[in-house]
Amino acid sequence: MEKLQESVYKLIVETSTNLPNDVRRAIVSAKAKENAGTRAALSLTTITDNIGMADVNVSPICQDTGMPTFEIKVPVGVNQIEMKKAIYLAMEQATADGKLRPNSVDSLTGQNSGNNLGEGTPVIHFEQWEKDVIDIRLILKGGGCENKNIQYSLPTELEGLGRAGRDLDGIRKCIMHSVHQAQGQGCSAGFIGVGIGGDRTTSYSLAKEQLFRTVDDVNEVEDLSKLEAYVMENANKLGIGTMGFGGEATLLGCKIGAMNRLPASFFVSVAYNCWAYRRLGVVLDQSTGSIQEWLYKDDETVDLNSASEEVAATTEEKQEVREVVLEAPITEEQIRELQVGDVVVINGMMHTGRDAIHHHLIDHDAPIDLNGQIIYHCGPVMLKDEEGQWHVKAAGPTTSIREEPYQGDIMKKFGIRAVIGKGGMGPKTLKALGEHGGVYLNAIGGAAQYYADCIKGVKGVDLMEFGIPEAMWHLEVEGFKAIVTMDSHGNSLHADVAKSSLEKLFEFKEAVFK
């Protein structure tokens, strides 16, 4: 199959850079629901702008290109070993070309392979069928939304919903709870796949398989079809909204599957996927490996701006937004003036720092003076040109809550004044912001092209031994916008939305499906 590697490479590039139309339609629908001028509406505008930029740039929609998972159906007799080799070569090429971020990390040493290959990476599932073509489907599911996956063992007690038993109503409660616990940390508004039954492993696999269904399909099982419709209607009443900022659009899709289970076990598994729902597929000629057909594509041109301003303007709610321009080094006085809801526009320098950097800084000096500086929770996609200069290909925020054990201590230790990420942070960081004079800024998760466009130059890099995503990159930015969601006065939008959505979740405690 001489065309197989080329075909898989095209599939990887398209999946990383071009959202399918069913997902685009869901995002446009969500945009139409939000009130003009709200944080949620502004976030969705950024998201749609980012999708268009990824199309034009043929660059990753989100910098976290995730754990690539291939689901492949092959005719009897097709050499699966040779297919794997072709997939590995295509993965390596796509990584070298900046279409994938190097995401394969040795769990024992912490070393990044640099080419997205390693034990268990990528995930490849083969299944034989009696058709004479090869069906390859790929999903790129990022770490932020992967971390919001959750599994329940029934019966169980759920916060806000009480007892969930081994029945359809118990399943309903688990799904509603799963949406609530994700908040904005998985880049809502999102999509969920649900697996009912099986064992712990197959239940999660079934949940992820549901994400290969189209957004607008109808479940063939009547009870599950009703449950999907119920979740779609009521999860959006929780008020979590885009990025967890509050709003009308929390969930864009819900797909549920069921399988038999052991008498002693009853698992409900939920695979959460962000708005950047990257999955495509191709049908290949089994002899040549050439592409015969694209899956999840149609001929419709989806206008991402069809939820127009005249529609949004008919709504009553509009939030006044104050913009403040900051450039490091930032003083404590400047930080104390900021309050939740302000939009901060950053010019000048910022410095990336993720898990490895935060762990390192606890016991080591910083490679540069961080007093008054800005840390960006970001693992960018970077490429080096022929002159040896680095260029940012994608640079959206990563989920900040992972840094909760470190963040407050590091801000105090080094004098850092602002932290940028997504999804918010917890009480330890909030306390430190008040004591030290710091602020947390929420950027729009997944908007990797939008923020890459704000980066005007790479001024250096330190700690490259941690790998490209985990290194500390020194970036010069212009017009980089983020929203104050945790301030130095003890206010946290994330805590407020979590509290209000829990109160709304309580309204769904009573049995619906008996």
For residue 245 the two structure tokens come to 């900022």
Cβ neighbour number for residue 508 with a 10 Å cutoff: 20
pLDDT of residue 273: 97
Domain regions of the chain by residue span: 1-140+279-317, 143-273, 323-498
CA 262 to the chain's CA centroid:
33
The one-letter code for the residue type at 407 is Q
Say how far apart CA 13 and CA 298 lie, in whole Å.
Answer: 18
- The encoded tokens of residue 90 equal 């295509």
Could you tell me which residues come within 8 angstroms of residue 255 by beta carbon, excluding any fewer than 6 positions away?
A: 191, 192, 193, 194, 210, 211, 213, 217, 219, 228
Report DSSP letters for 364-404, one per residue.
S--SS--TT-EEE----EEEE-TTS-EEEEE-PPPBGGGGT
Nearest to 141 by CA among 218, 232, 233, 207: 207
**What CA–CA distances, in Å, run from 393 to 458, 469, 495?**
11, 12, 33
Residue 387: CB atoms within 10 A of its CB come to 5
- What pLDDT is attached to residue 41? 87
Which pLDDT score is estimated for 305?
82
pLDDT of 316 reads 42
- The Cα angle at residue 293 between residues 254 and 278, in degrees rounded to 5: 35
Q: Tokens in use for 401?
A: 């809550």
pLDDT at 188: 94
Q: Which of 276, 274, 210 is nearest to 59 (CA)?
A: 276
| C-alpha span between 219 and 409 (Å, rounded) | 49
Task: Report the distance separating Cα 212 and Cα 393, nearest Å.
Answer: 27
Q: What is the structure's pLDDT at 1?
A: 81
The radius of gyration of the chain from alpha carbons, rounded to an integer in Å, stands at 23
Q: Helix, strand, or coil here: 237?
A: coil
Structure confidence at residue 310 (pLDDT)? 42
User: How many residues comprise the chain?
Assistant: 514
- Using a 10 angstrom Cβ sphere, with 0-12 exposed, 13-18 middle and 19 or more buried, the burial of residue 19 is buried
Residues of the chain with pLDDT under 70: 306-320
CA dist., res. 382 & res. 63, Å (int): 10
Closest CA to 252 of 14, 501, 44, 508: 44
Residues 211-240 have pLDDT tens digits of 999 999 999 999 999 999 999 999 999 999
Show the CA angle centred on residue 489, arms to residues 483 and 495, nearest 5°: 60
What per-residue confidence (pLDDT) applies to 514? 73
Q: What is the pLDDT of residues 324-370, one digit of tens each?
A: 999 999 999 999 999 999 999 999 999 999 999 999 999 999 999 99
Q: Residue 252's closest CA among 192, 186, 175?
A: 192
Whole-angstrom Cα distance, residue 327 to residue 346? Answer: 6
Q: Rounded distance, CA 124 to CA 134, Å?
A: 14
Instruction: Identify the pLDDT of residue 35.
Output: 79
For residues 224 and 227, give the distance between their C-alpha atoms in angstroms, rounded to a whole number: 5
pLDDT of res. 307: 55
pTM: 0.94
Name which CATH class applies to 323-498: alpha beta
**CB under 8 Å to 219, separation ≥6 — which residues?**
225, 228, 255, 256
